[in-house]
Structure 1
């Protein structure tokens, strides 16, 4: 009974642990970077194919490859500057003296442009894709500070001109108004929050293959906001097309074979114990399937172990070796042994004569 309960308990534990492990994997499975699933259609998108990554270790071969690596480029045309960007990763080019960005964040810039000797960041690294309706979008934020708007300056200048024309002939009422204006102007002005440049990339599917040497993606500059704080791009690539999610295999061929063998052994033991107990009415160790075969194997292994240990014991070194010990004390032990031997021989001779 105890053996049968043990078999049932082992089977229950193995099935429960496997089910719990699969459930935990489903719950804790986090989306990979630069991937997303459409909330409306359920289609899967993976842009890691067009994300240019630097090699992890910089060996001599890796340094050569790194020198040939380039990020994606987009012509600015009438904007006056060309743009360099990467998808879901920082640009591979080494940047220095980025305007308005801390030195520790220079390596995280994912899009930038240069004007003269100045480098402007238009977004830090971001690997989270979003859907705006049916449009797949990638956003970069926290770039260089935005320039002050020229419209605000012109508005202030026109306002000052109007004040001068209307107040050419001051009066007593005007003096009172001036006093009130001075009082209000003396109020402290809170420091405005610094606005920073950002980038919006619209990703479009391009199924046509232009050629074997054609780039995996083409990036086009659409435009920038009036205050030069937001930049819009359009990228076309096969990576932006819906695909099938491929999950990496958790176990290798050996692991899969081991799991199959474990399940087969558990089925053999539990099913055999159940059959021997219910049909053959066996108890104890006889509930095991093919008990006689396993008992014979066990006896063979024990006999082989005993033979090997006994044969190896001959080669073990001994300090004194084999020697007969003779003790002389109150009685002569050696003499007693010889007398007993003679008495036994005489007794056997008498019995043989009879």
Structure 2
């Protein structure tokens, strides 16, 4: 009874086609944890890094500054028809002073990432720091929440009108609604942007603020965290070598009817190359052995022993022949 066994040549194609799955499994188990302010798209697998947009006290000044010693500033956006301009930072608290911000606990003022100042000089937070961008469909979004309290939309206006009639409106604060101001930034890719361009899009009930951020940092890069360049080229080289080996073996076996080691493609070339390398190594070893008085290889010792034995036997035959000649003469 004969059992069928798969030869290495027949199993190599299956190994080649399984390489992508093996690479994916290995890299998925060894993928480092996601860094703050970065995200990987689940649809395209591209990697996005917004960390270059972060402004800190140790950041370099913007390229448009004329003096290298200028202080570091946050990013700003004009409100246009809205009666305030906005100050923001990306994935970090603002660098500006926010000590006088309205209705935010002192312990949370160091985490404010966006705010605006009214014409009366009042500061309002529109969101605390977040380092977790995410995708909503194909839109790269960064959201800040937990800002100053939102005003009540209807009741506050009526009460303000009554207080204004009584002459007390200048000292009256708007009634709170129970919600807090928040910010949503939509990041768009712009390869030509030297610095980010932040545009104020609009607000809803003085509670939700929307911005559009165009920058080169929002441009995708191909999954650098999944596979590095060295790994990609290594896999490509391995696949090419296996295709060459399998294709050559099949050709040599089926067309040239070769067997054994001669099934390897270009066997004569590889054999000559291996022989040349081995001869070079042996020559170097022999030179080092002669200079350092090291023992040579066993083959050399056997050859020397054989040569000495042959010389000894030749000398013995010569002596015997001379003895016979002398004995015959006597």
Alignment of 1:156-305 (within 5 A): 195-201=178-184, 216-219=197-200, 222=203, 224-225=205-206, 230-233=207-210, 235=211, 247=222, 250-252=227-229, 258-305=234-281
Q: Tell me the distance in 2 between the aligned counterparts of 1:135 and 1:260.
A: 33
What root-mean-square deviation, in Å, do the aligned CA atoms of Structure 1 and Structure 2 show? 5.6
**Alignment match, 1:306:** 282
1:125-181 deviation digits (Å, cap 9, x = unpaired): 3433547xx9998643222455789959x99xxxxxxxxxxxxxxxxxxxxxxxxxx
Q: Tell me the distance in 2 between the aligned counterparts of 1:258 and 1:66.
A: 47
Conserved in 2, the CA contact under 8 Å of 1:53 and 1:92?
Answer: no
**Alignment match, 2:168:** none
1:25-83 deviation digits (Å, cap 9, x = unpaired): 89x9x9x958989x9xx9x9x8959x832369668999x5882433223449786x643
SS at match of 1:113: strand
2:146 is the counterpart of 1:142: yes
Q: Tell me the distance in 2 between the aligned counterparts of 1:204 and 1:341.
A: 95
Conserved in 1, the CA contact under 8 Å of 2:127 and 2:144?
Answer: yes
2:322 is the counterpart of 1:349: yes
**Alignment match, 1:67:** 71
Distance 1:34 1:67, change over 3 A: farther
Q: TM-score, normalised by structure 2?
A: 0.54
Which structure has the larger Rg? 1
SS at match of 2:278: helix
Q: Tell me the distance in 2 between the aligned counterparts of 1:129 and 1:342.
A: 94
Q: Tell me the distance in 1 between the aligned counterparts of 2:49 and 2:205.
A: 24
> How big is the shift at 1:13?
2.3
Q: Tell me the distance in 2 between the aligned counterparts of 1:341 and 1:20.
A: 67
Conserved in 1, the CA contact under 8 Å of 2:76 and 2:85?
Answer: no
Distance 1:56 1:142, change over 3 A: same
1:162-219 deviation digits (Å, cap 9, x = unpaired): xxxxxxxxxxxxxxxxxxxxxxxxxxxxxxxx945222558699x9x9xx99982332
Q: Tell me the distance in 1 between the aligned counterparts of 2:241 and 2:19.
A: 17
**Alignment match, 2:128:** 124
> How big is the shift at 1:313?
0.9
Q: Tell me the distance in 2 between the aligned counterparts of 1:75 and 1:128.
A: 25
Distance 1:264 1:231, change over 3 A: closer
Alignment of 1:5-16 (within 5 A): 5-16=7-18
Q: Tell me the distance in 2 between the aligned counterparts of 1:74 and 1:47.
A: 25
Gaps of 5+ in 2: 1-5, 160-176, 295-312
Q: Tell me the distance in 1 between the aligned counterparts of 2:194 and 2:259.
A: 74
Query: How many pairs align?
Result: 265
> How big is the shift at 1:123?
1.1
> How big is the shift at 1:268?
1.9
Q: TM-score, normalised by structure 1?
A: 0.51
**Alignment match, 1:53:** 54
> How big is the shift at 1:312?
0.3
Distance 1:109 1:246, change over 3 A: same
Of 291, 306, 318, which aligns to 1:315?
291
SS at match of 1:315: helix
Distance 1:201 1:304, change over 3 A: closer
SS at match of 2:182: strand
> How big is the shift at 1:341?
12
Distance 1:315 1:53, change over 3 A: same
SS at match of 1:314: helix
Distance 1:251 1:106, change over 3 A: same
